[in-house]
A = this chain, B = another copy of it.
């Protein structure tokens, strides 16, 4: 398979990391478009399917690896920003790095327990943000931190989501969030 593209050249061992990157990059591209077979990921990375499986023994594992990094960034920013800034930043990232979006979706589906690690971490981060905002009176107390995530996911990812409108709708929502 590879042989057809580089008849003689044999990939050296040190390329392992490189291959991993290739697979992740390919996976990012493929997962973007709803669906996508692992075979396609391998093909796009110009690697054998076996290689993919060596690096990521299950579909889930690949998924997680693709998105782990994105989630980390979000988590970090949650610690630094205020609620509004953070939400705006998230929308921004969603607009530009489409990969992250797909990443977050499963995180907030309670069923998917295998994402628990990342899920827990980011939820904790958002919970802190939320708590601060409630204290400051910027958020009605009957709206939970999970609600905030939901809205974010929806605005950035839901069907019909449009980055160009997301900011405005976020503002609308934040306006509505203030306790009456």
A interface list, Cβ under 8 A from B = 104-110, 140, 142-144, 146-147, 149-151, 153-155, 157-162, 165, 168-169, 171-177, 180
Contacts and interface: CB of A to CB of B under 8 A. Distances in A.
A147 B159 contact: no
Given A154-B153, A154-B154, A160 B172 contact: no
The secondary structure that dominates the A interface is: helix
A109 B151 CA distance: 19
A147 B168 contact: yes
Contacts of A143: 168-169, 172
- Among A109, A150, A165, max chain B CB count under 10 A is at A150
A150 B175 contact: no
B159 A153 contact: yes
A161 B154 contact: yes
Contacts of A176: 171-177
Given A173-B176, A176-B177, A159 B154 contact: yes
A154 B69 CA distance: 25
Nearest to A142: B168
Contact of A106 (B153, B159, B169): B159
